[in-house]
Amino acid sequence: MNSFLDACRALIGAAHVLHQAADMAPFLRDWRGRFTGSALAVLRPGSVDEVAALVRACAAARVPIVPQGGNTGLVLGSVPDATGTAVVLSLARLNRVRSVDAVNRTMTVDAGCILQQVQEVAAAHGCLFPLSLAAEGSCTIGGNLSTNAGGTAVLRYGNARELCLGLEVVTPQGEVWPGLSALRKDNTGYDLRDLFIGAEGTLGIITGAVLKLYPQPKAAITALVALATPGHALRLLSLLQDRAGASLTGFELMSAFCLRLVAHHFPQLPRPFGQEYPQYALVELSSSESEPHAVALLEQAIGAALEQEVALDAVVAGSVAQSRGLWQLREHIPLAQAAAGKNIKHDISLPVSRIADFIASTAPLLQQAFPGCQLVCFGHLGDGNLHFNVAPPAGIGDEAFLVNQEAVNRVVHDSVARHGGSISAEHGIGALKRDELARYKHPVALQLMRAIKAALDPHNLMNPGKIL
């Protein structure tokens, strides 16, 4: 192995081949701090050619590679296992915005660019890069693409997949596919781009991408709407889609329990209503015309929802600034959860039309199996994506409850499967959900995936043990 590491040093410089435990530590520990793996070394190439050369060296020596971006994933997809046989290949030094084309509304970036950097450069060119998620200050665009990240703007703009036109990829053989197409229509053979997107680094290493940009809306205005049930939230969603079309840019569901958690842990935040309601929707309309247009459109729609008794009560922000305040309620749910202690998380999706049924039928099953457990149910209702987290009953400690993780997953994921849903909406599979995938994915799909993996990476060197 010394000769292998020497070869790596010769390729990218000794300073970029980390092998001391202290230097490697941040690359080996997962974002939630629940697992720490082991590695031969952490490699930090500075160019696409260096990535390709390292992959060839790894292929020759049969050393497995764990590609890593910002290492903010939640499913152990970007950290190595405990065997210490793999290298971590960090894309962090590939962090240039290569070009921006404001007329084509595209930008070409290195995989290691931080998401927030991408958003800011787009904005400086008068454009919007809509991908937005909690880790945006740390995660990289390469990681976003490798996991097909979701976030808060999917309803209008789609997942990371829909925001990418072209990719540059280093194959498991260490060849470079320069697929940096900036085209909106291109039907020249198989969709290699979308095969690498969401493959979590198991088929090759994304080193660059062409991203789609959008015109900046003139204003985004939110309302907080009080609702009797999740079913009413579905009716509100349909009403807003019919009246606002693509101007509806956000629709988040939050249960009373979620806002109670936020109020308890963040008492400084606004409490828009004088009383508690069973459910809330945070909705956002964007206008390409003006702030008053957005406010008027939203007020009319919410007025209709109140009149038709779809909504119980509502607060419409009068300005973009007030809208930010309402978003904070939603954004503080994960923080309030963390302050309250650990819980068992699920990142699930369902057909939007089945969400109310899913919640109504799954909550009692959980109560039956784990009496007193507390459901922290919120998420991107417009995309069918719920964060359906289960916290311990009052008075039970986190650790005592977490031993139920497997059993809780079974109740939730079996119900997801019955409702035509997915066990991973936006976090991916990684190592954490690999067994769950094997349980719930159709055998023909698994067989197709294995055939593709074997064809492109016959020695199973690219992020082994993830997904499959």
Site for a copy of itself in 428-457 (CB under 8 A): 428-429, 437, 440-442, 444-449, 451-456
Spatial neighbors of 109 by CB under 8 A, at least 6 apart, are 96, 97, 98, 118, 141, 208, 209, 211
Cβ closest to a copy of itself, residue 142 vs residue 150: 150
Residues 6-65 that bind a copy of itself (CB under 8 A): none
Among residues 14 and 134, whose Cβ is nearest to a copy of itself? 134
Q: 3-class DSSP state for residue 348?
A: strand
Residue 62 φ/ψ, nearest 5 degrees: 55, 40
199 makes contact with a copy of itself (CB under 8 A): yes
Among 67, 112, 384, 464, which residue interacts with a copy of itself (rule: CB under 8 A)? 384
Pick 59 or 373: Cβ nearer a copy of itself: 59
Report 66-85 residues binding a copy of itself (CB under 8 A).
none
Map the footprint of a copy of itself across residues 338-367, applying CB under 8 A.
349-354
Residue from 1, 6, 26, 184 touching a copy of itself (CB under 8 A): that is 184
Query: Considering the rule CB under 8 A, would residue 252 count as an interface residue with a copy of itself?
Result: no
Q: Which residues contact 25 (CB under 8 A, 6 or more apart)?
A: 36
- Among residues 65, 163, 297, 314, the one that binds a copy of itself under rule CB under 8 A: 297
Rounded least distance, CB 263 to a copy of itself, Å? 29
d(CA 231, CA 237): 10
Q: How many residues does the chain have?
A: 468
Candidate residues 15, 22, 190, 275; the one interacting with a copy of itself per rule CB under 8 A: 190
> Any idea what DSSP says for residue 158?
-
Which 157-176 residues touch a copy of itself, going by CB under 8 A?
Answer: 158-159, 161-162, 171, 175-176
Q: Identify any residues that bridge with 198 across adjacent strands, giving them in sequence order.
A: none
Q: How far apart are CA 228 and CA 277, in angstroms?
A: 7
- Strands in 102-218 per DSSP E: 106-110, 127-128, 164-170, 176-179, 205-212, 214-215
Amino acid at residue number 124: A
Asked if residue 377 binds a copy of itself (CB under 8 A), the reply is no
User: Would you count residue 181 as binding a copy of itself (CB under 8 A)?
Assistant: yes
Q: Does 105 bind a copy of itself (CB under 8 A)?
A: yes
- The answer to whether residue 246 forms part of the interface with a copy of itself (CB under 8 A) is yes
Q: Does residue number 303 form part of the binding site for a copy of itself (CB under 8 A)? A: no
Q: Can you point out the beta strands (E) in 322-440? A: 347-349, 374-380, 385-391
**Six token digits for residue 118:** 């991408």
